Structure 1
Amino acid sequence: MTRTWHVSTVTEAARARIATARLATAHGVPGVERTRLVTALTAQLRQCLTKGGPWRIGVEVTAARDGSGRFVVEVASAGNRAPDARPPWRVAAVVPGHGEASGAEYVADDAETLAEALFSADEDAALLLEKLDEQERLVAFHREELHQTNQGVLALHAELDAAGRAQRELFAAEQKAHAEAEQARGRLTFLADASAALTASLNHDAIVRILPELLVPRYARTVDVWLFDDEEDEQRRNQPHPAAAVLAARRGRPQYAADHPGGLPGVDDQPHSALQPTRPLLCIPLVTRGAPLGVLTLSPPEERWNADDAVMLIELTRRASIALENAKRFEHNRDIAETLQRALLTDLPTTPGLHLAARYLPATHGLNIGGDWYDAFRQPDGSLITVIGDVTGHGLHAAVMMSQLRTALRAYAVDGGSPGELLTHLHTFLHRLQPDLYATAVIARFHPDDPTLTWAAAGHPPPVLRTPDGQVHTLDAKPGAMLGIPLRQRISDHTVPLPPGSTLALYTDGLVERRAQGIDPGIRRLAAELGTFAPADLDRDLDGAADRLLQPLLDDSEHDDDVCLLLCHIHSDAARIREAVPSGTRV
């Protein structure tokens, strides 16, 4: 549908406006859209009347397939215009449903019609204002919602910030706890390693030397160990000590000397030391179950110690005290054992033409006392009995049993008897005296008028004989069983020629036996080393030969068992030496 009006005056413009409004209403243009369209048309008509000339107003309603349409208003010039005139002015509105509006475009030329059109325009304006009010209320509502949302966002940001701060604090606390745990683990590891180092030695001097090496520079700048019974170092014994160290020794409690409180648990605060006024000092007593041993005085690696370090240092000092006490007790027992061992070892007799050399080396671990022993004595017929033996076990019990065996052997030998008979008597004696204790032994008998060696063995490594021609023989004839086992046995004698220049080596298993190799390789090494000596060297210096023989066999410097060696050497000129000794003279 198309409608057209020609306008040149205000009245014609008003009629055209009213007709357009009626058509829009008739075609169902919504009120707000209709008001917007009519208002835009009114403004355009005012401009057209101002410019003058005839104008053409056209209204066209088009239909769409879905039943809706478009209400289009066009204003164009009705006269002849220049080619550069502006294009027609258009405004459009959507028509929800297409309908017919026949006769709606007629407008009567009277006041009533104009008034009605005016009121209709006011109604449209009122409707528009009402819509505007609704929009304002909607905007206010959304503004309030936005404000509430903003408040919520601000509150959420505040909560997130608080949660972030709490998370950062928790992370910092976790990091701090982790660092403290690492420090505690480091202290425990250090304490365990230091304790192992302290208890690894049974020498109190070594323990005193190792303390500064353990503590400096990690836990102390300087370390001073004051031992009350340090009799060897007179200078250290007479040097002045801080007053806090003296108080620690008297009270048996740690003392902290500084110009500020230490705040250390279990430690008494004292004024700074006059000997070291610029440094704090921690004086910890070395206390044992018996009596105090001394005082450990430390200066901090930095300004001061924290409480955990101080507790660890006090515990380390306690363990050092125990290590020192154990070392002193061990050294005391070792001195007793060495004195006893020296008392049990025999002074070798001198016999013209027969040289003897003996060596005894205690095990490198434990008390220096064991069951290895040697002896040499004469029988009434002038024979010389040499014996070497080994009592099972180690310590004072084995040493006492060894002493009893030596005494019993001398008692049995008074009435004579061959080496085999003497070992048989010792077997019976040991079995009846100590049923749970066993021993091994080798007895060799030398007679000045008989160039024959008589010997017998009971469970002991075989003797090694070096003949004057440099050959070395292992005397491994069938030995008897160990002494003391629950078995009746009669131990046999064995003989071998013994020309001048011969050397017999009696030894215990500690010399030749090694855990990784057994005993046979060690016996072969002993025989090989004995074969390297020249006869003149053995004639001249048998003691030196004994030392040189031990050196390559004990090259590992540590041995788990005692070592005993007895060398018996027939001088190459033994007959002349015996003849040079006056008859009836005992040498």
Structure 2
Amino acid sequence: MTRTWQITDVTEAAGARIAAARLAAACGVPALERSRLAATLGAQLRLCLTKGGAWRLTLTTGPADGAGAESGEYVLHAVVTPSPDAAAAGEPPWRVTVPCPEPAPESAAGTAADDAAGLAEALLGADEDTALVLERLSEQEDLVEFHREELHQTNQGVVALHAELDAAGRAQREAFAAERKARTEAENARRRLTFLADASAVLTASLDHHEIVRRLPELLVPEYAASVDVWLFEQDDGTAGPAHPAAAVVAARTGRPQYAAPHPGGLPGVQDQPPSALDPERPALCIPLPTRQAPLGVVTLSPPGERWDPDDAVMLVELTRRASIAIDHAQRYQHNRDIAETLQRALLTDLPSPAGLGLAARYLPATHGLNIGGDWYDAFRQPDGGVITVVGDVTGHGLRAAVMMSQLRTALRAYAVDGGSPGRLLTRLHTFLHHLQPDLFATAVIARFHPDEPTLTWAAAGHPPPVLRTPDGRVRILDDKPGAMLGIPLQQEIADHSVPLAPGSTLALYTDGLVERRAQGIDPGIERLAEALGSFATPRLESDLEGSADELLRPLLSDSERDDDVCLLLCHLRGPA
């Protein structure tokens, strides 16, 4: 269906617009689309009237292009073209197409109403459409405002999220930096503690304070100090020595670490002093060597760089304290060792020189601990002309064992004055020790020589057996049943044993330190002693018993470390001249 309107003035244009709106309403075009069509068509018609001339509006309704009527798809075409004789002839037509839900009825008005009632009705209809459009527009504005608010809130959330992410990133970076710093500090602390432990082990391993003083600079240079000077007060003998910084003197007087430099060091627990007059440009850290009474000296260090790290300075103060303890212990040990050696020499008396009997003794202290123990040897005459020789060993080590050994030796000499065989003397020593020191024990072997008797009488109490070399070079281990250790809570009568003794015979009495080794036991050592004693020739023993004693010890003590004292007493019965 096609309808055409001629338009030359505004009244015809208004009528054509009204007719197009009515046709669109008849075709079921929604009010919003209908209003859009009317507004668009009205704007175009106003433009045409402005240009002048005659114009033609053509409205066509029908099925959509390519679709049949049975498809239910319809459209409304509006075309505005100029008349052939108009001034705007040749201008391209204006077109608009609107989908229609239903076809245009045949009763749809073909002409626009030109009466007042029709125009009023059309105006009211247009107002209804406009009101509907405005309502829809208001809804859209509300929807737009709602979405704008949502967008604003979303933007605020995004901004807040970005702020939170930025804060989280900054916190993460700070956490990473703190973690790296903590890891670095922990690694440095571990390095310092490891060095402190290793250096302490080195310093405390020696009991020679001169060695400790020598090792201290080797440990600190060059990582923790460029130079180290150890000033021990006991080394000052009144002679002029090297000059020391004033800060070292202050450290010695106050017992507190001092730092002398042109600028404050800021070291914890260290007092700042003016720079040293000896070297004003060189910082010096002066740390006293503390003890309970007074400092032993002062350690003066110069930094490996411009200055020390505060934690390094704390470590250096602690290491110096440990070095002071090691030096103090070493000096005390040296002092006690000197006392022990003096006491030991006083306890080991000179041997007698009885006619027809040669005696040679050797005593070697253990290489660990104080050089004093419970091993002893002795030889003395009895009133009847016999000679008692004894080697004993008090359990334990140190001053207590040495004092007990001295008491046993004195008691043995006192008992021997009244006479008595070796077994009887050991029995009396057993009773004496048990009542005097119930928690101390001892072993001993006693051999008795008498110029009028061609026999050797001996007895042992828990002691290694004597070794006898006969003049023909044969060696016999006198391992007859011995008594139990002296001092154990047991009543015992220690038996005597006798063996023929020819001139030229040699008897070896000894302690277990000579023959016993932890990995081998005592029996292999006794066999080695017997073999070594048998290797000597009788003339050598006759002429040089002292040298023979030294030569006998040499193969048996090839190892330099001894865990126990060593005592050896050689008794050689001289042959006829």
Deviation of 1:546 (Å) = 3.0
Q: Which residue of 2 aligns with 1:165?
A: 170
1:244 aligns with 2:247: yes
- 1:303-322 to 2 correspondence within 5 Å? 303-322=306-325
C-alpha contact 2:367 2:562 (8 A) present in aligned 1: yes
Q: Tell me which residue corresponds to 1:4.
A: 2
What are the Cα deviations for residues 440-488 of structure 1, in whole angstroms up to 9, with x where unaligned? 1111223446553222112211112233444332110011222233444
Deviation of the 1:132 alpha carbon: 5.3
Structure 1: stretches of 5+ with no match in the other structure? 79-85, 577-587
What amino acid does structure 2 have at the position aligned with 1:512?
Answer: V
Shift of the alpha carbon at 1:281?
A: 0.9
Shift of the 93–387 alpha-carbon distance from structure 1 to 2, 3 Å rule, reads: same
2:279 paired residue among 272, 276, 280: 276
Q: Distance in 1 between matches of 2:60 and 2:495?
A: 156
The answer to whether the aligner puts 1:491 opposite 2:494 as a matched pair is yes
Question: Which residue is 1:103 aligned to?
Answer: 107
* Shift in alpha-carbon separation, 1:231–1:509, aligned structure 2, 3 A: farther
Secondary structure at the aligned position of 1:356 is classed as strand
Give the 3-state SS of the residue equivalent to 1:238 in structure 2.
Answer: coil
CA distance 1:76–1:150, shift in 2 (3 Å): closer
| AA partner of residue 227 (structure 2) | T
Does residue 1:549 correspond to 2:552, yes or no? Answer: yes
Q: Do the aligned residues in 1 keep the contact of 2:257 with 2:269 (CA within 8 Å)?
A: yes
Aligned CA distance change for structure 1 residues 490 and 456 (closer, same or farther; 3 Å): same
Which residue in the other structure is 2:36 paired with? 36
Change (3 A) 1:117 1:541: farther
| Cα distance change of structure 1 residues 140 and 417 upon mapping to structure 2, 3 Å threshold | closer
Percent identity, aligned pairs only, is: 69
CA–CA separation in structure 1 for the residues paired with 2:503 and 2:29: 152
Q: Deviations over 1:40-81 (max 9, x none)?
A: 66789999x99999997531268x9xx996441247999xxx
Deviation for aligned residue 1:511: 2.0
Instruction: Specify the alignment match of 1:60 in structure 2.
Output: 62
Alignment-mate amino acid for residue 3 of structure 2: W
* Pairwise CA distance, 1:520: 2.5
Q: Which amino acid aligns with 1:92?
A: V
The alpha-carbon distance between structure 1 residues 7 and 554, as it changes in their structure 2 partners (threshold 3 A), is farther
Q: 1:479 to 1:88 in 2, by over 3 A?
A: same
From 227, 242, 251, the counterpart of 2:232: 227
Describe the shift of the 1:324–1:108 C-alpha distance in structure 2 as closer, same or farther (beyond 3 A): closer
TM-score (norm 2): 0.82
TM-score (norm 1): 0.81
Output the CA distance in 1 between the equivalents of 2:126 and 2:18.
13
CA distance in 2 between counterparts of 1:202 and 1:371 reads 23
**2-structure distance, mates of 1:360, 1:16:** 147
Distance 2:213 2:398 in 1: 28
The 5 A counterparts of 1:83-98 are 91-93=97-99, 95=101
Deviation of 1:241 (Å): 1.1
Change (3 A) 1:534 1:52: farther
Match of 2:576 in 1: 575
Greater mean alpha carbon deviation, residues 358-367 or residues 132-141: 132-141
Q: How has the CA–CA distance of structure 1 residues 438 and 4 changed in structure 2, closer, same or farther, with 3 Å as cutoff?
A: same
Deviation at 1:566, TM superposition (A): 1.5
Contact 2:461–2:483 under 8 Å retained in 1: yes
- Per the alignment, in what secondary structure is the counterpart of residue 576 of structure 2? helix
Give, in whole Å, the separation in 2 of the partners of 1:349 and 1:406: 15
Q: Which moved more, 1:381-390 or 1:131-140?
A: 131-140
Partner of 2:510: 507
What is the CA-CA distance between 1:355 and the residue it aligns to?
3.5
> Is residue 61–residue 104 contact of structure 2 (8 Å, CA) maintained in 1?
no
Question: For residues 77 and 143 of structure 1, do their structure 2 counterparts lie closer, same or farther at Cα, with a shift above 3 Å needed?
Answer: closer
The structure 1 residue matched to 2:361, chosen from 358, 365, 372, is 358
**Matched letter for residue 575 of structure 1:** P
Q: Tell me the CA shift for residue 39 of structure 1.
A: 5.7
Q: What's the counterpart of residue 215 of structure 1?
A: 220
Tell me if the contact between 2:505 and 2:572 (Cα under 8 Å) persists in the aligned partners: yes
CA distance in 2, matches of 1:228, 1:94: 120
Residues 129 and 422 (structure 1 numbering): CA distance in 2 closer, same or farther, change over 3 Å? closer
Q: 2: CA distance between counterparts of 1:146 and 1:433?
A: 105
> Which residue pairs with 1:580 in the alignment?
none
Change (3 A) 1:543 1:103: farther
SS of structure 2 residue aligned to 1:575? coil
Q: Per the alignment, do residues 293 and 77 of structure 1 end up closer, same or farther by CA in structure 2, a change over 3 Å counting?
A: closer
Q: 1:206 to 1:4 in 2, by over 3 A?
A: same
CA distance 1:91–1:502, shift in 2 (3 Å): farther
Task: Specify the alignment match of 2:482 in structure 1.
Answer: 479
Return the alpha-carbon distance in structure 1 between the equivalents of residues 540 and 525 of structure 2.
23
Task: State yes or no: 1:206 paired with 2:211.
Answer: yes
1:427 to partner: Cα distance = 2.8
C-alpha distance 257-109 of structure 1, shift in aligned 2 (>3 A): closer
Instruction: Write the distance in 2 (CA, Å) between the matches of 1:450 and 1:275.
Output: 82
Quote the Cα distance in structure 2 between the aligned partners of 1:69 and 1:352.
Answer: 157
Pairwise CA RMSD? 4.0
Q: Secondary structure at the match of 1:429?
A: helix
Partner of 1:566: 569
Which residue of 2 is the match for residue 418 of structure 1?
421
Q: 1:373 to 1:56 in 2, by over 3 A?
A: same
Quick one: which amino acid aligns to residue 168 of structure 2?
Answer: A
CA pair 114-462 structure 1, distance change in 2 beyond 3 A: same
Q: Is the 8 A contact 1:69 1:94 kept in 2?
A: no
Matches within 5 A, 1:134-149: 135=140, 138-139=143-144, 142-143=147-148, 145-149=150-154
The 1:414/1:24 distance shift into structure 2, 3 A limit, reads same
Give the distance between the partners of 2:32 and 2:527, measured in 1 at CA.
127
**Aligned AA (1:155):** A
State the alpha-carbon separation in 2 of the partners of residues 326 and 453 from structure 1.
49
